Amino acid sequence: MTKAEIVAEIANKTGIEKTTVQTTVEAFMDTIKNSMTNGENVYLRGFGSFTIKKRAEKTGRNISKNTTIIIPAHNIPAFKPAKTFVNEVKDNVIVK
């Protein structure tokens, strides 16, 4: 499902104009990105958590040049779904 499909689905269910829904969805995503950029995790009860995972420094290999490189420590965004979300997906997924 794409962002456009999400916007259309919300607009159909709520009766709100697509442009308003699109602005709201984009503001929601920007808020999550800005919070995580500032080092804050985002918790949505019943949906999941957007967290920041820290990756330690490690040694990698460039196979084509046969050299080793140091990959510096860095942070990456991660999403962990809530248990209720996981259980609902497990029980109700329809394979197309």
Q: pLDDT tens digit string along 29-79?
A: 999 999 999 999 999 999 999 999 999 999 999 889 889 999 999 999 999
Residue-level pLDDT at 93: 74
Nearest to 12 by CA among 23, 21, 1, 3: 21
Are 49 and 79 within 8 A, CB to CB? Answer: yes
Question: Is this prediction's pTM over 0.85?
Answer: no
Residue-level pLDDT at 26: 97
Residue-level pLDDT at 44: 96
42 Cβ neighbours under 8 A, 6+ residues apart: 32, 35, 36, 49, 50, 51
